[in-house]
Structure formats: structure tokens, C-alpha cells
Structure 1
Amino acid sequence: MSQPDPHSFISALPFARALGMRLEAISAGEARISMDWDARFVGDPATGVIHGGAVSALMDTCGGAAVMSYPGATTTATIDLRIDYMRASTPGQRITARAVCYHVTRNVAFVRATAHDDDSENPVATASGAFTFDHVKKVSK
């Protein structure tokens, strides 16, 4: 079984398409995905702040993409995702998530992620998660 293309992973998720997520960068075990501000995703019309659920979906998707880009990964699914919301995002600004798959076992991949708006030094949210990890098994001769 060959490793799937992480770009295909993102485009295959209907909610990622509906939220307008864009894969900005991907490398072995790391991903960066962004999502434009959209009035449809506002949680409180009085403030214009993006709903936490949209930020959560972005971070979850980015974590999954980081796992799928890990060498040999074939499939993944979220087991657990803890998100700490640090501050409200700035209305009108794009949200960008960056995730790193920092440790894998035979069946679990561990990921850390951050999300920010234009102020990249001041996170909107941070996350840590565990994802299922299926991978290409090496065949010994």
C-alpha cells in the first residue's frame, strides 16, 4: 500500500471544502492550513469573531494532515483533541493553523498545533491530540 497524497486528504473532506480550508504547506509530519474569515462562520454577530467550532475543525484537519504527511502513513482519524482557546480571533482576518506530528507509536500519532490570525506571535488557540496511525509495514527479506 502506498502513502496517499495529503492534498487529496484535505480535498476529500466536505467540511474542509465548505469552510474554504487551503493547504498552505506540508512536509514530513508537519502541515499548515488556512481558512479565510467568512461571515457564515461568525459565532457572535455583535463581535464578528469566528466561532470556536470552525477554529476547532481547522486545527483537527491540520493535525490529520500532519499525520498523513508522516513518512509511511496510510490512514488516520482523530482519537482525542484538546483545544485551549487563548483569545478571540480578529474579525476579518484569516486563521492559519500549523500542526506537527512529534511522536508516533505503532498505532497512535501525537500532534501539537497552534492557530493564529495576522498576529502570529499571539495564538488564537493551541491544541494537542492523538490520532490513529496506520502505516506501510516494512517487509523484511
Structure 2
Amino acid sequence: MNSTSLMAMAERFLGALKHCQILQMRVTHADAEGMTLILPWSQRIVGNPQTGAVHGGALTTLLDTTCGMATLCALPRFEVCPTLDLRIDYMHPAEQGKDIFGHAQCYRVTRDVIFTRGSAYQDDPARPICQVVGTFMRLGHDVRGGIDFGSRLEEGEA
């Protein structure tokens, strides 16, 4: 899949996730090497109003979504891949008023599981706010008993 069609599919996928719409997350980059999303700074992601610290749930949402969407970069076709496990190591708090980027890549794909890793950062990817590793279950292209969401994404209907 070329980068242009991958970006389009990623944008449709992200647009179908209501919680990501509320947080105004956007795709900034998608290619065979991985996925990058942006979580714009806003007061709604602040978890501690006294310090301005970002809520861990907002960072978890960014990284789970980024890692999950990185599966699009590693697979030849869309597959439903729910999160099996997600581990986040927090390094330091985010700076107030600055957007947060999430980047993830798949480093191993097996018949049943996809392994991902990534980080959240603001100005410098070499200075992550937190790092993440995640595993995602492969359910296959066709989902039995429900809508084949993958075909809808590939066809631009989502």
C-alpha cells in the first residue's frame, strides 16, 4: 500500500473513533515505517488543574490508538486488531500548551499477534514523555457476524 492510500485509510479509521474526534486527534504521518498522530493541547486533556499535568488517560488513548493504527502500516489489508496488552512507561510530564505526538511502529507480525512499540513526545522524539509497547490480536480481514469494517475503510466509506 502506498503512503497516500495509507494516510487516507488512517484518516478514515481515526475519524470513525468518537473519542479521538472529541480529543481532536489527527494523523500527521503514515508509511511502511509507522504511524504518527497528534493530540492537540487543550484544557480537556489536563488531569491536574493545579500543575497542568496531562491526564494519563489522554496519553493512553493517544498511544493505544497510535499503536493500533500502526498495524495498518504492517499489513497488506485492513484487519480488525484489538489490543491484547499495552504497557506505558512515563518519563516526565508534558509541557503545558504544547501539542503531543504519538509515534508507533510494528516490529514483529505473526499469524495471531502484532507487536508494536512507540512513544509520545512534544518537541523532540529523542526526549519522550512516555514509551509504549503493545500487542494486538489478529482477527483476520473478514469479521464473522458483523460488518466487514475493513472493506469499508479500504473503499473510503467509513
TM-score normalised by length of structure 2: 0.79
In structure 2, distance between residues paired with 1:74 and 1:51: 30
1:9 deviation in Å?
1.4
Residue of structure 1 equivalent to 2:90: 85
Residue of structure 1 equivalent to 2:151: none
The AA in structure 1 aligned to 2:29 is A
In structure 1, distance between residues paired with 2:110 and 2:75: 13
Higher helix share: 2
Which shifted more, 51-60 or 116-125?
116-125
1:90 deviation in Å?
0.3
Q: CA RMSD in A?
A: 1.9
The AA in structure 1 aligned to 2:122 is D
Count of paired positions: 135
1:132 deviation in Å?
1.4
Residue 110 (structure 1) aligned with residue 115 (structure 2)? yes
| Contact 2:27–2:37 (8 Å) recurs in 1 | yes
Higher strand share: 1
The AA in structure 1 aligned to 2:94 is S
1:122 deviation in Å?
1.1
TM-score normalised by length of structure 1: 0.88
Residue of structure 1 equivalent to 2:135: 130
Runs of 4+ deviating beyond 3 Å:
134-137
In structure 2, distance between residues paired with 1:82 and 1:54: 15
Residue 45 (structure 1) aligned with residue 49 (structure 2)? yes
| Contact 2:80–2:141 (8 Å) recurs in 1 | no
| Contact 2:106–2:114 (8 Å) recurs in 1 | yes
Q: Structure 2 unaligned runs (5+)?
A: 1-5, 143-158
3-state secondary structure, aligned to 1:74: coil
In structure 2, distance between residues paired with 1:68 and 1:13: 15
Paired residue for 2:25, among 21, 24, 42? 21
Percent identity for Structure 1 against Structure 2? 36
In structure 2, distance between residues paired with 1:125 and 1:84: 5
